[in-house]
Amino acid sequence: METTEVKPLIAKEILESLQTKIEEEKQVIVHCCFPASPFLGNLIRIWPSTYLIDDVTGHKSKLIHTENISMFPAWTPIPFMQDFWFTLIFTGLPKDCKSFDLKEVIPEEGGFFVDSIKRNSLDVYRVKISESFS
């Protein structure tokens, strides 16, 4: 006896609403390198007001999780003369975003800034962190 596989029919409206949920769940992962420093006693932290900002629309993806770095006001010590790696996870970028900035928006000088990161299909990035003094 042969069996025929029958696929269920799913209403177009349900498929569209599920697509919206998939878009909401997307995340962007940014692996960050803070270059080695010849100074002893360096500390690093990230503020919750760090965003990925779409270069065209200005859309801000919010920081939702960190790995291997302290959140303001705490500090993480940086090993002497070693590159320091940490990971930031953000909410999804708009579907049509082609490039974006990583910007730590803080009420003092020295926030992290990476300009014009080119978007890829995986939304996983490796960047070298520098400080902005604006």
Residue 13 confidence (pLDDT): 74
pTM assigned to the model: 0.79
Residue 38 confidence (pLDDT): 81
Q: What is the CA radius of gyration of the chain?
A: 20
11 inside domain = no
**CB contact at 8 A, 64 and 112:** no
Report the C-alpha gap between 134 and 122 in whole angstroms: 31
Domain that holds residue 37: 26-131
95 inside domain = yes
83 inside domain = yes
Residue 134 confidence (pLDDT): 46
User: What average pLDDT does the segment 74-100 reach?
Assistant: 94
Q: Report the range of poorest mean pLDDT among 55-59, 79-83, 88-92.
A: 79-83
Report the C-alpha gap between 33 and 86 in whole angstroms: 7
Q: What's the total number of domains in the chain? A: 1
Q: Is the pLDDT of residue 49 over 60?
A: yes
62 inside domain = yes
User: What average pLDDT does the segment 47-56 reach?
Assistant: 97
